[in-house]
Chain A
């Protein structure tokens, strides 16, 4: 990829690069659409974007190639990942369609649109490629800068305003104004007593804990799990693990193993302490 980019056709190296990376880009795009988990989608999209950055560079848009990597892959995709974390990493949504006929209509439209675009491109007489050799002679960044600060200066200024507005808008949207004074701990405890429920602290999770076990519901005396013992966030995400139906023998074996390993200390420590140790 020298500065003398071919006007009419590309070098063999570029052709090879196009076919290999183009395939990667298409696969990445397809994965973005069809991956179940949003995190995977985001990663695939990031890959596609890096490929596109390479293509920008190949087409003589050096500045844009770098910006693509820094801004898109770096900043924007990070933003996406942050939001995915915020909303729930493992919250995989099913790909089952709920709106009747939506999928078929979408595929039909997509196919039709794609065919039309291809036909349009094929129809257009795109034979002459001037190449960027002449305009990039003084350096790509300098050329862009000359255009931005002369011909496109107003658009540039307005994009500045747009960015400011977007930043303010994002803050307005995500910021929650407190409309009343925050209640003190004293008031909260008084309210709890007045309402008469959950006066003591909530019960702890993890009766048969094997790891840190905050996602395993504690069991009630009759053996049924109590959702109350698990954090509300986990409940909302549907990440509560239920072990009540696991085989009793497995549990028994687990206890047995733990008892054997800790036999020496049995007389010194209380029983519940032992299980805690076992979980480690």
Chain B
């Protein structure tokens, strides 16, 4: 049974290879091949899960050694897979949600000429992510890590004919490279510190290692996590990544990519446990991102970008929880899983709305869609209730636990972090209610679009492309798209409850991540009550602003904060001013130094040699008599020397 782990990766990898190398003859059936292989991987994951449940809690970790990858002296890298409770959770999430997104894409991408290629990339994405979570050492994890980066690049830029998509893909790739650098440095540090980078020996040696080195490794791992999980300061790529097809956004945000950073931190828990400073940095990054993403989400009119801000914020929760140490690891993963369900559901719902609205993404041009897309409305609504933490749904359980854990950290830090998490919950309620109201309620602002607003300020290029300024005809999506949404809605509703009742998820993960109860200064009931009160406040404000008053089709100018948030809180401007300009100046000064000092030395040497040669060259004047003088002088010198030798 344990030898089947490699097949988990092999199935989607095979799919990617077949679809990408197969050529046009697979165009007709390619999408089903891709979906089937993703589903096969999921089925295998379920089988292995059942097998794992049959074992005792302490004997559930299994490894499969495939072959020795790089055996060079003291440098041993093996292709070994490790399946324990943590990776099992991820395998099920990735393959399960991934398969549903595959299925959804069959409908969503129906009219795209390059659908086969799209499914090949999706399979590649799954394979890379599975390799990432199943690897037994950091080097193999790094392979998956880079594979995820590659696949995300290919998928975000899938509509490469759009310059914005190509740029977004490039941006995602480059920002991710910064994080990748962190991971590679972390691996190098590990090798110099521990002499290995396999999980078990590294974690075993942590106790014998100085805190300084562990902090350095932890910070580098945090940098890596920031890149993949879109945490401040490497968050800028996430919003632009919405240029990819909507299923890609769902896949990136729910099942793969952004969860990799959280996985990395939780997996490296042993290192972070021994490095409190690094952990503090993780919590700070998480808290900042949580608020950052939430604020950005409030201001966006693009439905996908609002959801992207939400993702950033939710991942911030997870990173915050992961930074709390053993009291938070389990809840980070739990929130990750529940978030996987409802965020996938929300994105697929958004895709369904766009599908029915001629790819319009501006929520100000939606409104009153609940009558036309009932299934989408219901599934999206359930996802909405789950994410804002409506009591009884998934988000309620997982987010509540994180807020409690944040308070449980204790001291001033605990209060600050807990407060930030609470505030984030309120803002979440606000912006998600805004999305919900603008999309499904209110007047039907999409009617008479062409006459109502002849000069639309920001028509999306995609809508322009379709050339349909005519009135859209909202309609429900086909079954192949709605079924995944329904399945995910079930997950959104029940996952949290199933995990939390009886602390099942805690017991499940405890052998891997460890768990300890914190001592919260406020009781759990108080936290829950506060969360609920803030939830109601957030919803109420949103209702007052968007439910009671008509929504203007053209966005009002808004406050300074709103305008900043629309520009992603000036993240790109910051990057441009600090990094791009700074880099340019640094480059220019380096070029200057190169031209003056380095080239000066080189050219100076050459010029002095040349000048010397030019002077020596004058000896060669072409006159035979001049040469004869040299010869005669030489002969005289020889005679003199001979005489001198005789004399001596």
Enumerate chain A interface residues (CB-CB to B < 8 A).
99, 102, 105-106, 109-110, 112-113, 116-117, 119-120, 123
Contacts and interface: CB of A to CB of B under 8 A. Distances in A.
Contact of A116 (B626, B636, B647): B636
Interface string B522-554: 000000000000000000000000000000000
A54 B5 CA distance: 116
A123 B643 contact: yes
B632 interface: yes
Contacts, number: 37
Contacts of A105: 629, 633
A96 to B, nearest CB: 14
Nearest to B643: A120
A280 B562 CA distance: 125
B635 interface: yes
Given A105-B629, A109-B629, A123-B647, 15 more contacts: A99-B621, A99-B623, A99-B626, A102-B625, A105-B633, A106-B629, A109-B633, A109-B636, A112-B640, A113-B635, A113-B639, A116-B639, A116-B640, A116-B643, A119-B643
Contacts of A119: 643
A109 B640 contact: no
Contacts of B59: none
Contact of A99 (B625, B636, B639, B646): B625
Contacts of A109: 629, 632-633, 636
Nearest to A124: B646
Contacts of B646: 123
B629 to A, nearest CB: 5
B643 A112 contact: no
Interface in B599-648: 621, 623, 625-626, 629, 632-633, 635-636, 639-640, 642-643, 646-647
Q: Tell me which of B623, B625, B626, B636 has the highest count of chain A C-beta atoms within 10 A of its own C-beta.
A: B636
A109 B640 CA distance: 12
Contact of A120 (B623, B625, B639): B639
A113 B635 CA distance: 8
A54 to B, nearest CB: 29
A106 B630 CA distance: 9
Contacts of A120: 639, 642-643
Interface of B: 621, 623, 625-626, 629, 632-633, 635-636, 639-640, 642-643, 646-647
B623 A112 contact: no
B642 to A, nearest CB: 8
A99 to B, nearest CB: 5
Contacts of A102: 623, 625-626, 629
Nearest to B633: A109
28 contacts: A99-B621, A99-B625, A99-B626, A102-B623, A102-B625, A102-B626, A105-B629, A105-B633, A106-B625, A106-B629, A106-B632, A109-B629, A109-B632, A109-B633, A109-B636, A112-B640, A113-B632, A113-B635, A113-B636, A116-B636, A116-B639, A117-B639, A119-B643, A120-B639, A120-B642, A120-B643, A123-B643, A123-B646
By secondary structure, the B interface counts as helix
Contacts of B643: 116, 119-120, 123
Nearest to A119: B643
A119 B642 CA distance: 12
A105 B621 CA distance: 15
Nearest to A105: B629
Contacts of B647: 123
Contacts of B626: 99, 102
B79 to A, nearest CB: 80
Contacts of B633: 105, 109, 112
A118 B428 CA distance: 113
A41 B120 CA distance: 100
A120 B635 CA distance: 14
A20 B625 CA distance: 33
Nearest to B640: A116
A112 B636 contact: yes
Contacts of B621: 99
B462 to A, nearest CB: 82
Contacts of A123: 643, 646-647
Contacts of B635: 113
B624 to A, nearest CB: 10
A79 B635 CA distance: 30
B294 to A, nearest CB: 89
Contacts of B623: 99, 102
Contacts of A116: 636, 639-640, 643
Q: Tell me which of B633, B646, B647 has the highest count of chain A C-beta atoms within 10 A of its own C-beta.
A: B633
Contacts of B625: 99, 102, 106
A106 B625 CA distance: 9
Nearest to A97: B625
Contacts of B636: 109, 112-113, 116
A215 B630 CA distance: 43
Contacts of A110: 632
A191 B646 CA distance: 74
What are the 5 A-B residue pairs with the smallest beta carbon separation, nearest first?
A: A113-B636, A116-B639, A109-B632, A109-B633, A112-B636
A110 to B, nearest CB: 8
Nearest to B626: A99
A60 to B, nearest CB: 28
A106 B647 CA distance: 27
Contacts of B629: 102, 105-106, 109
B632 to A, nearest CB: 5
Nearest to B623: A99
Nearest to A110: B632
Contacts of A113: 632, 635-636, 639
A124 to B, nearest CB: 9
A146 to B, nearest CB: 34
A120 B636 CA distance: 12
Contacts of B642: 120
Contacts of A112: 633, 636, 640
A167 B636 CA distance: 34
Q: Tell me which of A110, A116, A120, A123 has the highest count of chain B C-beta atoms within 10 A of its own C-beta.
A: A116
A199 to B, nearest CB: 43
Contacts of A117: 639
Contacts of A106: 625, 629, 632
A106 B636 CA distance: 12
B625 to A, nearest CB: 6
A181 B540 CA distance: 117
B238 to A, nearest CB: 80
Contacts of B632: 106, 109-110, 113
Nearest to B639: A116
A105 B640 CA distance: 17
Nearest to A117: B639
A104 to B, nearest CB: 10
A123 B643 CA distance: 9
A108 B635 CA distance: 13
Contacts of B640: 112, 116
Nearest to B636: A113
B641 to A, nearest CB: 10
A116 B632 CA distance: 13
A25 to B, nearest CB: 22
Nearest to B647: A123
Nearest to B632: A109
A81 B484 CA distance: 118
A265 B640 CA distance: 81
A116 B647 CA distance: 13
A194 B643 CA distance: 73
A111 to B, nearest CB: 9
B433 to A, nearest CB: 99
A112 B639 CA distance: 10
A221 B553 CA distance: 108
B425 to A, nearest CB: 97
A132 to B, nearest CB: 28
Nearest to B631: A109
A105 B627 CA distance: 11
